[in-house]
Amino acid sequence: MPEPLKNLLHEALVGDMADRISGNAPTFDKNRFVTLATEGLTALELMERSALIRDALFATLPGDFREAAAMLKASLPAADRPGLSGWMLLPVNQFIAARGPDHFDLGLDLLKALTPHFTAEYGIRPFIHRDQQRALAIISGWVDDPDQHVRRLASEGTRPRLPWAMRLPQLVQDPAPILPILTALMDDPEEYVRRSVANSLNDVAKDHPDLVAAFIAGHIDGASPERRWLLKHASRTLLKKGHAQALANFGFGVAASLECELRIQNVEVMFGAGLDFEIRVTNAGEITQSLMIDYAIHHMKGDGSLSPKVFKCKTIMLAPGQSHAIERRHAMRPITTRRYYPGEHRITIIVNGAEIASQSFVLFMPSADPG
């Protein structure tokens, strides 16, 4: 089994943190820090461990944030020495998020310095929540920074619905203030940054589908392959939902004169195995069609209702009279994000956003071992 995430923060790491801070700040009480940061540590989960270490920083760094920020910045890695890096900086993020907004420019500058050594997108969000206009004015200046991590922080940290982070309700309601940032980074030379831009646009699409579809339409003409990939990845939620403008942006019109046959090989599926099925589509029309073929598994919930989840399948060009067959196995196995229930499920075939074939199957759960 993989190592539990909580073990990323451990007693040896706390000791390393203490050494790296005290090496650049002789007045830092590293022994007290280690005592406070490790008391009961092993019984806690990841974020609880981080909060314990953050609280130890509260107790041992100077109460004046300017002095504390100077000590932390001096303790970051340099060419001639190691410093605070990696998971050590998760509690540092939390420290800055709590104390930094009262020293706005200094706090954001410290997060900018930190981000090449560990993500800082969680730390900047309280600044945006406190004063969005002031924060975005500073963050917008990072889009031309020579460091790719700083440029990515500008897009990733401003995502309205960043997973595992505090939501930014003002940007959920009105994302217009971050669009200039995303536009400036759309053709960034680093895929790492471009992927963040796509994820931010996909966040926005969940609340403002028409806005994002129009944004994509305005930036797709003459797009490089890299930008086109970004725009399609940004449209993934819209494409799965069959948004007409999003489909049209990538040349997918309403599928006409299309025949689809769905064959399920095993209508009874044992949990832990897979659903085997074949899709055969035929273009019975008179023009070549660009087809985006997806499928949805409608999972049974605890109350007996069905909840669909769309999966990407294949994109093809189909000439008049041409047929195309696709074989797939969809695994029905344990995952952390879903609880499975036995009973009748359903698979639906979706072409260019429209459901064109559907069939039921039954999921069985293995019997408990009586021994």
pLDDT at 371: 43
The CA-atom distances, in angstroms, between 98 and each of 52, 59, 104, 253 are: 14, 13, 11, 50
**CA–CA dist 124, 114 (Å, integer):** 11
When comparing pLDDT for 132 and 79, which is higher?
Answer: 132
Q: Using a pLDDT cut of 70, give the percent of the chain over it.
A: 98
The length of the chain, given as a count of residues: 371
pLDDT at 370: 44
Q: Which residues contact 79 (CB under 8 A, 6 or more apart)?
A: none
CB 114 within 8 A of CB 74: no
Q: Which two tokens stand for residue 322?
A: 């041409």
H/E segment holding residue 94 = helix 89-99
**What domains sit in the chain, N to C, each tagged with a CATH number?**
5-249 (1.25.40.290), 258-364 (2.60.40.10)
The bridge status of strand 354-364 relative to strand 268-270 is parallel
pLDDT at 367: 76
pLDDT at 5: 87
Q: Provide the CA 367 distance to its chain's centre, in angstroms.
A: 36
Q: pLDDT tens digits for 333-367?
A: 998 889 999 999 999 999 998 999 999 999 999 87
Q: pLDDT tens digits for 160-211?
A: 999 888 899 999 999 999 999 999 999 999 999 999 999 999 999 999 999 9
Q: Positive or negative CA dihedral for 183, 188, 193, 196?
A: positive
Does pLDDT of 1 surpass 70? no
Q: Which of 282, 276, 292 is nearest to 361 (CA)?
A: 276
* Amino acid letter, 263: R
Compute the mean pLDDT over every residue in the chain, rounded to the nearest whole number. 94
Tell me how far apart the 2 most distant CA atoms of the chain are, in Å: 80
Q: Which of 284, 297, 313 is nearest to 345 (CA)?
A: 297
pLDDT at 368: 55
Q: Positive or negative CA dihedral for 137, 138, 139, 140?
A: positive
User: What is the chain's alpha carbon radius of gyration, rounded to the nearest angstrom?
Assistant: 26
Does pLDDT of 146 surpass 80? yes
pTM strictly above 0.75: yes
Does pLDDT of 110 surpass 60? yes
Q: pLDDT tens digits for 275-304?
A: 999 999 999 999 999 999 999 999 999 999
Does pLDDT of 223 surpass 90? yes
Q: Which two tokens stand for residue 27?
A: 């007045």
Does pLDDT of 68 surpass 80? yes
Mean pLDDT of 54-58: 98
Q: pLDDT tens digits for 83-103?
A: 999 999 999 999 999 999 999
Q: For 45, phi and psi rounded to 5 degrees?
A: -85, 180
Q: Which residues contact 50 (CB under 8 A, 6 or more apart)?
A: 9, 90, 91, 94
**CA–CA dist 309, 297 (Å, integer):** 5
Does pLDDT of 112 surpass 60? yes
Mean pLDDT of 318-325: 96
Does pLDDT of 39 surpass 90? yes
Place of tokens 């093809």: 316
**3-state DSSP call for residue 336?**
coil
